[in-house]
Every structure is written in C-alpha cells, then in structure tokens.
Structure 1
Amino acid sequence: MSTARPETTRAAGMPTNETPIRDLGVVGDRRSAAVIDRMGRILWYCPCRFDGPSLLAGLLDPEGGDWRIEMEGAEQGPRRYLDGSGMLETTIRAPGGDLVVLDWMTSGPQAPTGVLVREFGAAPADVRIVLDARPGYGRGTAKLEAMETGVSVEGMGLQGSHPLRIEDHRVVMELPAGETGWMLLSDAPLAGADHATLDNWRGHTLGHWRGLDAAVNYDGAFADEVRRSLRAIRLCTHEESGATVAAVTTSLPEIAGGGRNYDYRYVWLRDAGMIVSALLRLCQRDSEGEQYLKFICRCTGTSEKYPMAVFTNLDCETAPRETELPFEGWRGSRPVRIGNGAADQLQLDAYANVALAAKLLYREGKSDGHAHWDVVADICDFLADNWQQDDHGIWEETPPMPYVSGKVVAACALESAAAYADEAEAARWRAAAGEIRDWVTRNGLTSEGAYAVYPGAEEVDVTAALFPVWDYCAADTPEMIATMAALERDWSPDGQLYHRRLECDDGRREGVFIAAGFWVAQYWVMRGELERARAIIAANVAQANDLGLFSEEADPRSGEMLGNIPQAFAHAGLIGAVIDLNRALDASA
C-alpha cells in the first residue's frame, strides 16, 4: 500500500492536534470509542476494539486522519449526551442557523455490531462531510473502493444518505442546504441502510443505554455527577469481557509538550480494584463491577514472575511492548506511544487492590459464596511472601523503591482476606500483615511523624489519604493528621486540588491529579468534616468538561485538561467519594 499523500486542504480553524482536551467528547459501543471535538470532527477512532490500530488519529497529528464537517462560517455551539446515553449531540453554529449532529455507535443485542453513525439535522447552508481515513496509526493510505451500497474503506462499509465520491484519497458527501442526512461506517459491509433502518437502530441503542442506567441505585448528593461518571466508565468498558480500559486514548500528555505520554487503552489491576469497588457499591446485584472482577481473575498466568501482569489487553493477555509512532503529538508532546512497557513491573498495590475489591464483593453480599477465592488466595500468598520487595509503586516509577503505600495496602488486603480464609491461611496472612505494620512504624515516617513516600524520605504522597479508607488506621491518628497537613502544605495549591509526588520528576510541574482530590475528600468524610469533603468534591468536579468527562489531570492555573480521556480511575474516585459522603450524610440526618 502506498504511503504517499497529497497535500491536505483543511477547514478553517486550529490543527486537529491542537484541539483542547476539554473540547473532546466520546461515543462508543462498549467495544471501541470515537473521540469528537466541538466542531464535530472525529479525531480518534480504533475500529473493533479500544486497543486496536487507529483509523483516525488526527488528535495526535494533523496528518493522522479525521472525519470532519466543513461549513462556511462554522463555530462551536452547545452539546449534550442524549437522554443519559452515550450518544452525543453537537450543535455547530453558522450564519444561516445551526447544524445539529448526532454521533453514536450501535449497541444492544437487537442492533448490528460495530457501526459508527453520524446523523445531520437540516443543514443551514451547504455542508461538506469528509472522511480522511489513515489506517494503521496513520502509516498508510486507505484503500477505497466504490460499491453499490457506498464505499469500501479498508474493507469497512461506508454509507451515506447522499452520494459518496472518492476525491484525493478521501470520501466526500455533500449535504445541500435545507436537507437532512447521515453517514455510517461499519466494521464490515452491511446491506443498504436508510432512515427507517437508523430509526430502528437508534431506538434499540437508546433502550440498551436506558437498561444500563436502570441498574444504578443512587439518588443522593452529586447524583448527576455520579451518573455522568458511570457513563464515562461504561464508555471505557469492553462489554463482552467486562474489562474497563484506563482511557480510550493514548499519548495525551501529563505535561503539555513533555514526554510523559502513555497508552492507556489497557486494563490495569490497580484501576480494576478501585473501579470494581465503586461499581459494586453503586449498582445492584449482578453488576458490572462483578463482571470486571471476573475479567481480572481470568488473567492469571499472564506473568512468569507474579500472580498476573499488572495490566493486560482486552483478551486477558499481556499488553504489547511499547513502541513509538512518527506523529507530531498533541501540541508537540512526543514521543507518541502505543503499547506499554510496565506490564511486568512489581506493583504491590495493584495486587492488593484486587483482594480489596473481592472483600467488598463478599461484604456487600453480591456474590454467592466467595467468588474467585482461588485467585484472591494466590494474591494474598504472594503478598505475604513478597511484601518486603521494592516495587514500582502506584505511579509506576523506576527504579523500584520500598514505597510505604504499597506495604500499607498489602497489609490491608491480607487482613481483609483473612476474615474469609481458613484458620491456617488467616494466621499466616495476619502474621505477615503484622510484620508490615511493624516495618511501617519503624521505617515509614518522616521526621514530622507523617507517612513518608519511602524510608528516609521527608516527602509525603497523596496516596496516603487512602490509608484510613483501606482500614489501615483511623483518620484522626497523629500520623494521619501530620500526613494531611504536609499534603496540604506541599502538594495542594488551594487545599482542594492535589498534585501527586513523583520520584522521577517534580509532580508540581504536572497538573493536579483529579482522582487524588476525591481520595482526600474520602479522608475528610472519615473525619466527619462533611462540608469540607463536599467542597473538595465540588472543586474536583469543576475540572470536568461540559460533558462531565475527566482527563487524568488539570492545570490549576489555566484550567486546561491534561492526560488521556475519559480517565476511568478519576471517575471511579468521584463515585467512591460521593457514596461515602452520602452514607455519612444519611447517618447524620
């Protein structure tokens, strides 16, 4: 396949890879997702699965491919998700009126699989819709072939309400002023579609999303924000396997123009533990949280050294090794990476979080018996034997260090699992947890009496806010009071947003870490300072975009969003903090 490309003629406006992360929205079918900006440009799309090769990657390079809408004088307008679903309605302003675009992917058992649909309301002026496909992460020119039902795009089926033509290696549809229309791209060619077909699919897709929403059992504080966060997690969830990827994008940077740019389209054990915990408390029996835990527990055998790899692909297989793409990067942030090189790191907290999630499953009574006990027991045996080892920590840093947070959460996992173990297992795990506690008391405090990042360090990390949440200690111990004071003094610009502490860099150069603010809010709930917790939650909720989506971080000065999106970890953090707050409010009423 030839890689030569003609010069690109683009609609007026900023290059695609300059698009603010705050302007991004996401639609999906719980297999894959498309990322769309406020001008209706689809800037990222990996057909078939989240971690597959992109067909559109304009988000990371102006020549990466996009699916754009060209209209004279176009400006961004409002947008919203339709009726609580993952279907995104975008309004594009023009001098002659508004163009309303509805983007969605077919979902549910009564709709076909793998169809990305774009519906256009009455055009206020002549509109030109251009699909500029660049398959294989922009490495090639798409093979286009005219067919009776439309155009074959790399073997995928593209159809439209109006004639499609191939023009300079792109597919173009003209929508005349006053007319409505649609385009769809399917993973494989489909029989000819029409408006009635789309009406049928749309109805089934909305019904599928409403069915998911019916499983939610929550109407307390921040109810709208909780539902938006649950939708974001679902947009990151692979329905067939039950797995949730960390985000649907790769290489959106933690520092604009910097090199901390990673591929988040995989399934992290650490994220799994916290996401499962959030979903199990939010949803009713047979929830998505239980399905996610089942996925994680199928991933045994993915590491030769550890109970399982700390993250996997959607098939419970080790994620591919990291490689770099010759893209410009988002606002020049290079390298652009696919794959991830941390799969075989030792991360004690990742394994411990799986055991803590299983404990919640047992405690909440949402499982018959002790589901996945063999995996939980293997993890606890591993933690009991290996807690003394240095690990890479929650932030996956090198070289490994004796991170206190990893030891602490290992102790909590061992103690929680012991309550469900036989007598011999329980005794062994409790003994190991006691050794960890002794080690932390002797080695894990700063000169101020706060929990140190590792022995000898005088700094603290926001992960320590979770120690009471994990049941390691009470929230009002002298060590926790000293830790929270140090966090607020050294790592918070305002007492409500928090940076993480990094070994390999100064975490204050990054944005504030959104999930961390919710962890701090959980701490203050445990201290009984509910209004303070509510204010912290509100401050971090304000870092979301207009659709309620969080990226990983936000610049506290400019408000610019940073990192991959939507960040499932942050959305799980919001759910956990809000549920804790609501339970405390109910108890105090």
Structure 2
Amino acid sequence: MSDAKQWGTIDLAPIGNCAVTALVDRQGRYVWACLPRVDGDPFFSALLGGRDPDADDAHGIWAIDIENFASATQSYRRNTAILHTILTDTDGGSIEIVDFAPRFARQGRTYRPTAFLRQVRPLRGTPRVRVRLRPTMGWSRAAPERTSGSNHIRYLVPGQPMRLTTDAAIGHVLDERWFRLEQETSFFLGPDEPFAGSLRSTARDMHDATLAEWQEWARGLATPLEWQGVVIRAAIALKLCVHEETGAIVAALTTSIPEAPDSGRNWDYRFCWLRDAYYTVQALNRLGALDVLENYLGFLRNIVDETQGGHIQPLYGVGFEALLPERIAADLPGYRGMGPVRVGNQAQEHIQHDVYGQVVLSNVQAFFDQRLLRPATRADFQSLERVGDRAFAVHDQPDAGLWEFRTRASVHTYSVLMCWAACDRLANAAGVLGLPERAAHWQARADIIRDRIETEAWNADLGHFTATLGGTELDASLLQMIELRFLAPDDPRFLATFTAIEKVLRRGTAMLRYADADDFGTPETAFNFCTFWLIEALHLVGRTAEARDLYNTAISRLTHSGLLSEDSDFETGAPWGNFPQTYSLVGLINCAAMLSKRWSAVR
C-alpha cells in the first residue's frame, strides 16, 4: 500500500444537480460526496480518509476499475456537468464511464434527487471491470450496514439510507468481483426506494434530459468573446455550489483542504457566506444568469426577516441554520494526512460588519432590473432599510474583518467601506422608487461614512490608505475601493495605495491577502481571488497588457476540470485550499468579461 499521508489531490471534477454533488478523480472514482446535501456527512470520504484509492483497504470511494489499467482520459460533455471518463487497459481494451446527477424539468418542477447515475460502456476489446462501492458514515472510516436484493443493495446510513439499483450482477458488486463488461451497464445510487421502470432506458432518458437542461442554461449565458470555455465551465461550477431548494450558495464543496501544507488552516466551507454569495451573484449577473440571483434573493429575504434589523451572521447553513458549531472529526486523518478535519465553522460567531453591505448590494439590482420575475417592492426597501440602519450603527465598530481573524478585532477599512456602500445603494434605490426624503437620508449617512474613511483610513505619513482605520497595515481588499465606486481608478490616492499594495503583497504573478502574521503564522500561499483583484486593478489603471498576461498565467494553472481552489503556491501554482472555490471562479469570470475583446471585433 502506498503511504497514506501522501495520497490526495484536488485535481478533481465536480458533478451535481444543485441538491447533491460529488468530486470525481481522473480515474473516474468518487472520492468526496456528502448526503443528503452538501453540508451533510460524507458518504464518500476518501479525499480526507488517508488511503490511496488503489489500496486494498481504501474506503469512502466508488470506483469502477479496469483490469490491467494503463491510462485514463476525462472531460465534460460540452457546456454541461456530465463527466466522461475513458479507462484503457494494457491490451488496448477500453471502457467509458458517464457520470452525472439527474437534473431536468418534470411535472412543472425541477427533478433533482439525492442521486448519482453512472453509465458504463465497453468501447474496445474485451475489458474486465470491478466495482468497488465502499461508503462511509459518521465522519469516520466506518462502513454502513448493507442488505441486498435481486437488483439492488441498500446502505443503511443513519438519516439517509441509500439504494444502489443496477443491471449488473449484484454478486459482482457485493464481492467486488472482476467481470467482463460486454454491454452497457447502469448504476443508480439514490434514496432507498424502488426504482420504477427499465433502468437502462430510464438512465438514457435521464441523461438526455440532463444534457438538454445544462446546455440550455449555458446557452443563455452572455459570455465574453475570449475565454468562453473558461467562463462557461466556471459558471457551471458556480451553479453546482447552489443549494437550489433554498437559494443558498456555498463557498466550496469541501472541508479541511489546507490553505498550505501542514498549516492548520483547514476550514469547513460547505456553508453560505453572504460575502462569497454576493460576489457569486455579481459574477453570474454579468453573464445574465438571473435564476441564481432570484433564488438567492429569496434566501436573503428569509435571513433579513429572521434577524429583524439585528445582528446578521457572516454565514448560515444552506437550510438557514444559524448554529454551525465547529468540531474536529478525529477519525479522519485529513487531506494527505494533514488534519485536522473540521466540521462546522466558528466564523458563525464572528462579528463581520461588511455583511450588511453585501446584503444590500445583492438586493439593489432588483430595484432596477425589469427582467426579474419578482422586482423589488417598497416593502422590500423598508426591510432593507433596517439592514442599512444596522450598517450605519456599527460602521465604526471593531470586527473580525473579511479575513475572519479569530483572536483580534479592529475597525477594518473594508468593513467600513461596505457599510458606506449599503447606505449609498439604499439612496440609489430610494431614488428609483420615487422617495426623495429617504434618498437624502441615506445619502447623508453615506457621506458621513465616506468622510470617516477618507480621514481615518488614509495614513498621511505613509501616503496611502490602510487596512484598518488609524492603522499602518495593508490588505488586498483596499483594491475594492474602485469596484465599489468609492474612488475612481485615476484618483491619486488609489494609485498610491495600489503602488504600496503591489510592493508589499504581490508575489510575482500572484497576490497575498495580507503579509502580516495572523493566528496561524505568516501566510504561505497566494489567495487566488486577490490575484484576480490585482488583474482587475491593473486593467483599470491602464496596464491592460500586463493584466492580460497575468490572466493567461492564472488560467494556465486551472485543474484538468477547468477550475481553481482557494489558494496557490507562489512558485509552482500548485492548488491548495477548498475546492472548487467560488471566490476563484468569480475572479475567472469577472476578469474575462473585463479584459476580453468586444463581440463587435468579429463583425
């Protein structure tokens, strides 16, 4: 058996249906999937389980192996989340595995079951295969009890019993027996209920309907002329991060992939950060994907109603859960053995004042955009005013900041900036609703906060804005001053701040969040989203050629599935952190839209 601490890769391909997701490795093995939803217990946990999937004692996997394996190729069906893997043996025999989670319209609703479907076909020669379906439960290596019938196997996972229905011989699966694959074989892993109808024909129908659903959605995207493939793949991955039942958008599909080797910076990102979700809907809005925005606004309206003008947490569970206590899953060794594996996130307890701006900014488009099925109303505005009141009340108070420092608090410039944006955008919304008195009220509050930023975040001795009011440190979020329209790109104060940020935080083709030591020491990897902020800023200050070069470098580091994790190594570009990371995918989309040649260039 290979060294358990060495196995692990986030060069993975996600599949899903906006209810469940799975991460599949390059040999078509499921190594991560949580049930019954993205923040549930891992049914497939090999990613954090410390065993090579080839090992005899591997667990938490679903593998369809080819005997005498020689090579694998993998790709998505164009503009879909349907994954194709071709495995070839040493004699030239080969099979194709088609993986997807069913998703399509049925009886006036979207059918998106807690289920995965695998179609396996022989392509050449006389390949022999083996099915290893080894689920886990309870954040451990423990296998659930199983029972079987003539064409199914039941896995008795507490709270979510699952059933595998297949037209393969059940004994082959139970005993992990090698057998010759002579015809198309289907595997439907879903809720513990009988599968109605012919498995093969139903699987084909589900495939075709899911294919059409994804391609029709991608067809509606307003993509830039250049880098279309990158943008479409990023957009599909962002949609996979949506829990469509509630509209929540998770920050990533995984937990506890460290930000850097053995750093202890292992966090559970399978929840809805309002900040990350704001940036996600902003990016998808640029592509015209209004369905995600509309659904997310429903999620936000529920959060705002629940808080009634009081404290809003930086994150919630995908089912609106406020309590997400953090604990260690001690029975899993972690990615490449680099624990701890964390479940839940202590950031739920944090005070992060930027969240009020993100709630307002996510909502403000609904007051202007006449395409929406549900335009915002005066009642919605009055509800948002309570969020604005909170933003104004706390804008000058210390918080944990967007980087979520765990042991110290300051008045972070980014948080104050977002509180300013909340008041500024409420003034805009009041104007379009024909409420001049409210517009004047919110503009006056925005002006008060602007004055505080311009006087207290500006360090005259250093000649630039700083990351905290009255402080000296820098962080990359200061680049958002132009994105939020607080400063113009040619403002001398911004240019001076940008120069200082490049000097302190830039590492070649990548960017740090901050350079100062935090609770876990000095940052060791670049934060991909900040690298895209750097690219945006370069373009906006007139250094477009350099921005395009950096963007091309960034996309050269995409995984084979066309995606990015949270962080990357300065020197090699190797991926670290949870995967796929919505922040990073947002950067891919925003920079492509900003840097691309116009469509008129081809006319």
- TM superposition score normalised by structure 1: 0.90
Q: Alpha-carbon deviations, 1:222-281, whole Å to 9, x = none?
A: 222111110110111122222211111111111122211111111111012111111222
Equivalent position of 1:157 in the other structure: 163
Q: Equivalent residue of 1:217, what SS?
A: coil
The answer to whether the aligner puts 1:498 opposite 2:523 as a matched pair is: no
Which ranges in structure 1 are unaligned for 5 or more consecutive residues? 1-11
Q: Alpha-carbon deviations, 1:489-523, whole Å to 9, x = none?
A: 221221x3211116515886332111112222222
Q: Equivalent residue of 1:172, what SS?
A: coil
Equivalent position of 2:54 in the other structure: none
Q: Where do residues 341-380 of structure 1 align in structure 2 (5 Å cutoff)? A: 341-367=346-372, 369-371=375-377, 372-380=380-388
In 2 relative to 1, CA 257–503 (structure 1 residues): closer, same or farther, beyond 3 Å?
A: closer
Q: Where do residues 381-400 of structure 1 align in structure 2 (5 Å cutoff)? A: 381-398=389-406, 399-400=408-409
Equivalent position of 1:7 in the other structure: none
Q: Equivalent residue of 1:228, what SS?
A: helix
Equivalent position of 2:195 in the other structure: 191
State the Cα distance separating 1:50 from its structure 2 match.
0.7
In 2 relative to 1, CA 384–429 (structure 1 residues): closer, same or farther, beyond 3 Å?
A: farther
State the Cα distance separating 1:556 from its structure 2 match.
2.4
Q: Where do residues 248-397 of structure 1 align in structure 2 (5 Å cutoff)? A: 248-283=253-288, 286-300=290-304, 306-326=310-330, 327-367=332-372, 369-371=375-377, 372-397=380-405
Contact 1:498 1:513 in 2 (8 A): yes
| Alpha-carbon distance in 1 for matches of 2:383, 2:104 | 31
Q: Equivalent residue of 2:411, what SS?
A: coil
| Alpha-carbon distance in 2 for matches of 1:147, 1:67 | 20
The answer to whether the aligner puts 1:562 opposite 2:576 as a matched pair is: yes
State the Cα distance separating 1:561 from its structure 2 match.
0.7
- What amino acid does structure 1 have at the position aligned with 2:20? S
Equivalent position of 2:80 in the other structure: 85
Equivalent position of 1:408 in the other structure: 417
The answer to whether the aligner puts 1:18 opposite 2:3 as a matched pair is: no
In 2 relative to 1, CA 224–262 (structure 1 residues): closer, same or farther, beyond 3 Å?
A: same
In 2 relative to 1, CA 197–585 (structure 1 residues): closer, same or farther, beyond 3 Å?
A: closer
| Alpha-carbon distance in 1 for matches of 2:213, 2:466 | 47
| Alpha-carbon distance in 2 for matches of 1:311, 1:112 | 25
Equivalent position of 2:121 in the other structure: 121
| Alpha-carbon distance in 1 for matches of 2:170, 2:2 | 25
| Alpha-carbon distance in 2 for matches of 1:47, 1:17 | 27
| Alpha-carbon distance in 1 for matches of 2:473, 2:185 | 58
| Alpha-carbon distance in 1 for matches of 2:312, 2:37 | 22
Equivalent position of 2:489 in the other structure: 475
Q: Equivalent residue of 1:274, what SS?
A: helix
Equivalent position of 2:46 in the other structure: 58
Q: Where do residues 377-526 of structure 1 align in structure 2 (5 Å cutoff)? A: 377-398=385-406, 399-421=408-430, 422-446=435-459, 447-494=461-508, 496-501=509-514, 504=518, 509-526=523-540
Which deviates further from its counterpart, 190-199 or 45-54?
A: 190-199
The answer to whether the aligner puts 1:236 opposite 2:224 as a matched pair is: no
- TM superposition score normalised by structure 2: 0.88
The answer to whether the aligner puts 1:578 opposite 2:592 as a matched pair is: yes
Contact 1:266 1:319 in 2 (8 A): no
Contact 2:309 2:386 in 1 (8 A): no
**Residue of structure 2 aligned with 1:108, choices 98, 101, 104:** 104
Q: Alpha-carbon deviations, 1:383-431, whole Å to 9, x = none?
A: 1111011111111113221111111122122112212223443333323
State the Cα distance separating 1:202 from its structure 2 match.
0.7
Equivalent position of 2:564 in the other structure: 550
- What amino acid does structure 1 have at the position aligned with 2:575? M
Matched-pair identity in % = 25
- What amino acid does structure 2 have at the position aligned with 1:464? L
Contact 2:17 2:112 in 1 (8 A): no
Q: Equivalent residue of 1:86, what SS?
A: coil
| Alpha-carbon distance in 1 for matches of 2:184, 2:150 | 22
Q: Alpha-carbon deviations, 1:473-497, whole Å to 9, x = none?
A: 1112222112211222221221x32
| Alpha-carbon distance in 2 for matches of 1:171, 1:429 | 68
- What amino acid does structure 2 have at the position aligned with 1:60? L
| Alpha-carbon distance in 2 for matches of 1:246, 1:405 | 19
In 2 relative to 1, CA 17–238 (structure 1 residues): closer, same or farther, beyond 3 Å?
A: farther
State the Cα distance separating 1:320 from its structure 2 match.
1.9
| Alpha-carbon distance in 1 for matches of 2:318, 2:512 | 30
| Alpha-carbon distance in 2 for matches of 1:160, 1:174 | 16
Q: Alpha-carbon deviations, 1:452-476, whole Å to 9, x = none?
A: 1113543311111111110011112
Which deviates further from its counterpart, 217-226 or 37-46?
A: 217-226
Q: Equivalent residue of 2:295, what SS?
A: helix
State the Cα distance separating 1:436 from its structure 2 match.
2.1
| Alpha-carbon distance in 1 for matches of 2:268, 2:394 | 28
| Alpha-carbon distance in 2 for matches of 1:467, 1:511 | 24
Q: Alpha-carbon deviations, 1:325-368, whole Å to 9, x = none?
A: 01111022221011111113221222212212223343444446
Contact 1:302 1:317 in 2 (8 A): no
| Alpha-carbon distance in 2 for matches of 1:158, 1:58 | 19
In 2 relative to 1, CA 78–16 (structure 1 residues): closer, same or farther, beyond 3 Å?
A: farther
Q: Alpha-carbon deviations, 1:533-566, whole Å to 9, x = none?
A: 3223222222321211111111122222111111
Q: Equivalent residue of 1:120, what SS?
A: strand
Which deviates further from its counterpart, 438-447 or 500-509?
A: 500-509
| Alpha-carbon distance in 1 for matches of 2:241, 2:392 | 33
Q: Equivalent residue of 2:565, what SS?
A: coil
Equivalent position of 1:5 in the other structure: none
- What amino acid does structure 1 have at the position aligned with 2:86? T
| Alpha-carbon distance in 1 for matches of 2:315, 2:33 | 22
The answer to whether the aligner puts 1:99 opposite 2:95 as a matched pair is: yes
Equivalent pairs, count: 572
| Alpha-carbon distance in 1 for matches of 2:5, 2:85 | 17
Contact 1:251 1:329 in 2 (8 A): yes
RMSD: 2.6
Which ranges in structure 2 are unaligned for 5 or more consecutive residues? 52-57
State the Cα distance separating 1:584 from its structure 2 match.
7.9
- What amino acid does structure 2 have at the position aligned with 1:223? Q
State the Cα distance separating 1:25 from its structure 2 match.
1.0
| Alpha-carbon distance in 1 for matches of 2:383, 2:338 | 40
Q: Equivalent residue of 1:479, what SS?
A: helix
Contact 1:106 1:201 in 2 (8 A): yes
Contact 2:513 2:527 in 1 (8 A): yes
| Alpha-carbon distance in 2 for matches of 1:574, 1:586 | 22
In 2 relative to 1, CA 32–517 (structure 1 residues): closer, same or farther, beyond 3 Å?
A: same
